Structure 1
Amino acid sequence: MALQGSLSELSLPDVIQLVSVSGKSGAFHLVKGEEQGKIFLKDGQIIDAFIGNLRGETAVYEMAIWSSGDFSFEPGETSAEVTVQRSNANLMMEAARRLDEWRVLSRRIPSLDLVPFFSPREGQDQVTLSPQEWILVTHVDGHRSIEDVATILRWSAFDVSKLLFGMITSGLVGLREPQEEQGGGGFQAGPSPITLLGLAEKIRTVAIDVVGPGGEKTIEKQYGGACTSIEQGGDLGVIREMVTQNSKAISLLKGAEVAAMFDEQVRPLLGGIDEGSS
């Protein structure tokens, strides 16, 4: 009979430890709502894992923070892939650390079903965000849940929540229940004008660095136009257009290779805006 139980009664690191010391081979099946994942062991050592778009160690860590759900262990089930190289001890130490950190994060983010939205920040200065935070904010639209955003970005929900935690603490982002209707409640679907202006400034800096002497005037003109459009209510479409026009100008001034360099450098800032908005 397969080993099975509830993660609300026994954490995944404890369950894996129990099986690994016996040197068994097989697969853990984990289910939480609609989410399903597997962790494969060979002679007691974790060799592969997956859940959704995540694979390997990241998948192990993602499932290790689950505080609810069910598990079962099927002896003899194997995987042809080896995506995990770290020892069980190192994996479980990191999983335990993340579990402790998740308990802190969950004080402000009690559920991954919550929907992040931008809080109005009238009269405040432009925000300073890391490249990963910029990528994240381009996917916060006031409709997608935290889980949805993580899936689109192919990031772990833990990593998304960790970034959101800081934004929530600073007042940039709020959370609402999925069933709450937007409109009249202080929700802001897309990035705030301040956030968009900050993103435009970063793109301007990259463009000027790439184009070098002689091209600053063109870049500044496009930056000024983008800022005006944002202040008049423009959305992420203004940022897309700014990038497109900058790329065209750089191509004319410096050639296609330099324009491609610009595109490559701004891509992390945009974080797949077009993909996320489709």
Structure 2
Amino acid sequence: MTAPAEPRAAVIEGSLREVALADVLQLLELGRKTGILHVTDAVAGRRAHLTLVQGRIRDAVIDGELAARGDRQVREVAIELLGWSSGRFAVEPLDETTATRGSTVGVDSVLMEAARRADEWARLADRVPGAHAAPRLAPVAPHAAPVVLAPEEWEVLAYADGVADLRAIAARSGRDLLAVAAAVHRLVGEGLLTVTRDAGDASEI
């Protein structure tokens, strides 16, 4: 009876507090590495992995549930992982001759999109502190001037119960998270919503 093969040792591993995941991905891209990047989030206890073929991201999995293979899905998962700043990472080598081919996403495009979104969040931060902010209806001032709202803004108002955060509202409405954040930003400015900073902070904007 043949003994089972020993798992391959990680060629790169470390702490996300010491090495940013963006730097790890760039290193793998520059070296045109084929392997599996395992990532754990120390805050939420989540696990994920990205499969790379010749330095490009082929697929992604979070918590064993979300398996992404389309370019857009892979990019979304990779961008989410870039926000994990505490935990550990390890790269498991993968034999290039056995690695399944398919559509892949370049690391540079992922990093550029992540930077663009970071700029957008920074622009909205004066009224929307982050994706975990929970909007609620604001008291309506007497004799308030009427406000013309877009359909997506009406939809956000319908879900704004002070409990659902922006991620939950985006999931329920099927809209992009940043689009929901932009709608909340305007509605706060119009005095129609207030925003609870997060679940552990009762202060509002």
**TM-score computed with the length of structure 2 as normaliser:** 0.65
- Of Structure 1 and Structure 2, the greater helix share is in 1
SS of structure 1 residue aligned to 2:186 = helix
For structure 1, which segment, 29-38 or 92-101, has the greater mean C-alpha deviation from structure 2 after superposition? 29-38
- Work out which of the residue numbers 10, 13, 27 in structure 1 matches 2:22: 13
The alpha carbon displacement at 1:141 in A equals: 1.5
- Of Structure 1 and Structure 2, the greater strand share is in 2
- Work out which of the residue numbers 157, 160, 178 in structure 2 matches 1:137: 157
Q: Which amino acid aligns with 1:48?
A: D
The alpha carbon displacement at 1:34 in A equals: 4.7
- Work out which of the residue numbers 115, 119, 138 in structure 1 matches 2:138: 119
Q: Which runs of 5+ in 2 are unaligned?
A: 1-8
- Residues 112 and 98 of structure 1: CA distance in aligned 2, closer, same or farther (over 3 Å): closer
RMSD over equivalenced CA pairs, Å: 3.6
- Work out which of the residue numbers 44, 53, 69 in structure 2 matches 1:42: 53
The alpha carbon displacement at 1:48 in A equals: 2.0
Larger RCO (CA under 8 A, 6+ residues apart): 2
Specify the alignment match of 1:57 in structure 2: 75
1:26–1:75 Cα contact (<8 Å) kept: yes
Specify the alignment match of 2:91 in structure 1: 74
SS of structure 2 residue aligned to 1:141 = coil
Q: Distance in 1 between matches of 2:170 and 2:47?
A: 15
- Residues 29 and 143 of structure 1: CA distance in aligned 2, closer, same or farther (over 3 Å): same
SS of structure 2 residue aligned to 1:23 = coil
Q: Which runs of 5+ in 1 are unaligned?
A: 187-278
Q: Sequence identity, in percent? A: 26
The alpha carbon displacement at 1:45 in A equals: 0.4
Which has the greater radius of gyration? Answer: 1
- Residues 70 and 180 of structure 1: CA distance in aligned 2, closer, same or farther (over 3 Å): closer
The alpha carbon displacement at 1:137 in A equals: 2.7
1:62–1:156 Cα contact (<8 Å) kept: no
The alpha carbon displacement at 1:44 in A equals: 0.6
2:14–2:90 Cα contact (<8 Å) kept: no
**TM-score computed with the length of structure 1 as normaliser:** 0.51
1:170 aligns with 2:167: no
